[in-house]
Amino acid sequence: MSTFQYNGFSSDGRETKGVLEADSLRAAREELRHRGVLPTTLTEQDTKAPAGILGLGRKAVSVASLALFTRRLSTLTAAAVPIHEALEALHRQEKTGELRSILSRLRSRLAEGSPLARAMSSEPKVFGESYIAMVAAGEAGGALDKVLQRLADFLERQEEMRRSVSTALAYPGLMAVVGSGVMLFLLTFVVPKITGIFADTKATLPFLTVALLTVSNLVRSGWWLLLLLTVAALLTYRRLSLKESFLQRRDRFLVSLPLVGGLLQTLALARFSRVLGLLLGSGVPLLHSLEITSEAVVNRAYRAVLHEAGRSLAEGGSLSATLERSELFPPVLTHLIAVGERSGALVDSLETAGSSFEREFEAATGRFMALLEPLLVLAMGLMVGLVVIAVLLPIFQLNELVK
């Protein structure tokens, strides 16, 4: 079914607006007629965009805003405020922005009799499958406030990690941009003018100077070729990215890289542990939780292992036994899961593992950034030094000829 947004007038002449679900535009008009609403506008909403883990794929609402909304909603529901009144209060608090429109549509769906999880499922740009499954489990178990609190904790933690990584990358990123700009300026403007002085002498230039001139000429005259090759490479990569086998090989290669690979692996393990523990703790069945978690883990190599684990569970196997067969899951994690399965405390084991991997990721990120900054300074110094040496060598050579 499609979702339609409408504006119009009710049978008593009051202006009204809202959303409804129908199979077609004609069916939506018929439904409004039955409700006694004369529509002035009726448009179909685009709800086919994929959502990411618990929140966003295409960011209709930021993770920080979603976390704040979830926290406020959990506070209101914990105070026994009915869900429709809670959404009304949050809607009034949001003065502008996409979140206000989303809350308006959620209120309309609740007024039509939809449960909260079903209403949220019509907003896939905001609420991911994990989020909706947990809300549905919370509604069914009468523990919606606790589920929303766990969701808010998780989203706030993810936003905190994202900000810490962004802050750590800001300085190295700026250095890389400035260094690239300096090199481009030297190769495009400075080197040709200085080395052009020696062209009339017909002297044999040093190898380093010739190599630098070749690169400079390529940047100045062959930029279109570089651009063409870049576009061709991007198009080829995009075409290959349509194949699942290529994506799995790419992600497996990434986690095998030195330094960066360890960070990616730790991040994937932290995400797996946190999301699966969050879903199970909210009352979502294990098999369904694993299916959702496999889609929440971005790395395709890990996703393939989790799909295999899901098939094994469906056939009566255990989660830990399947994960032990993959080198992507460390023995510490699989042992924790095995202990949790035997003791009935799998949620606690996963939360412990998630916290441990998150701390490990933060520590590893700090070490990586501490190493990256001096390496970037060294690389910039070497590049500028090579340019200076390449320019000075002909000058020294010319002085020798004069003597």
Model pLDDT for residues 166-188, shown as the tens digit of each residue: 888 888 888 889 888 888 888 88
Query: Structure tokens of 362?
Result: 């933060």
pLDDT tens figures, 325-363: 989 999 999 999 999 999 989 999 999 999 999 999 989
| pLDDT at residue 200, as a whole number | 62
Tally of domains within the chain: 2
309-318 tens-digit pLDDT: 988 888 888 8
Task: Tell whether 200 and 347 lie within a shared domain.
Answer: yes
208 or 398: which leads in pLDDT = 208
User: Taking the CB of residue 85, how many other CB atoms lie within 10 A of it?
Assistant: 10
The greatest distance separating any two alpha carbons of the chain, rounded to the nearest whole angstrom, comes to: 104
Domain, as residue range, for 39 = 2-44
**SS3 label, residue 214:** helix
The pLDDT of residue 85 is 93
Residue 51: the pLDDT is 46
- Flag whether 228 is in a domain: yes
Going by C-alpha positions, the residue among 362, 368, 364, 375 that lies closest to residue 175 is: 375
Q: Quote the mean pLDDT of the chain.
A: 84
Flag whether 68 is in a domain: no
Q: Is residue 374 part of a domain?
A: yes
- DSSP three-state, residue 354: helix
Query: What pLDDT score does 2 carry?
Result: 64
Q: Which residues touch 267 (CB under 8 Å, ≥6 apart)?
A: 357, 361
Provide the pLDDT for residue 265: 93
Helix H or strand E segment including 19: strand 15-22
- Is pLDDT larger for residue 283 or for residue 19? 283
pTM for the full predicted model: 0.72
Tell me whether residue 8 is in a domain: yes
User: What's the burial of 97, exposed, middle or buried (CB within 10 Å: 0-12/13-18/19+)?
Assistant: exposed
Asked if the structure places residue 269 within a domain, the reply is yes
Helix (H, G, I), strand (E, B) or coil at 295: helix
- 88, amino acid identity: E
* Pick from 103-117, 146-160, 184-198, 344-358: least confident: 184-198
pLDDT of amino acid 57: 43
**223 Cβ contact partners less than 8 Å away, ≥ 6 residues apart:** none
> Distance between CA 332 and CA 249 in Å, rounded?
25
Residues 177 and 35 in one domain: no
Q: Residue 177 corresponds to which tokens in the numbers above?
A: 């941009």
Q: Is 6 within 8 Å of 17 (Cβ atoms)?
A: yes
Tokens read off for 170: 């800001």
In a domain, 192, yes or no: yes
Q: Would you say 365 and 168 are in contact if contact means Cβ atoms under 8 Å apart?
A: yes
CB 15 within 8 A of CB 9: yes
Domain for residue 377, yes or no? yes
In a domain, 137, yes or no: no
What's the mean pLDDT in 317-323?
90
pLDDT of residue 74: 94
Which domain CATH number covers 309?
A: 1.20.81.30
In this prediction, residue 47 carries a pLDDT of: 47
Six-digit token string for 237: 């990569």
Do 37 and 174 lie in one domain? The reply is: no
The fraction of the chain above a pLDDT of 70, given in percent, is 90
On whether both 38 and 174 belong to a single domain, the answer is no
Contact predicate 91/107, CB 8 Å: yes
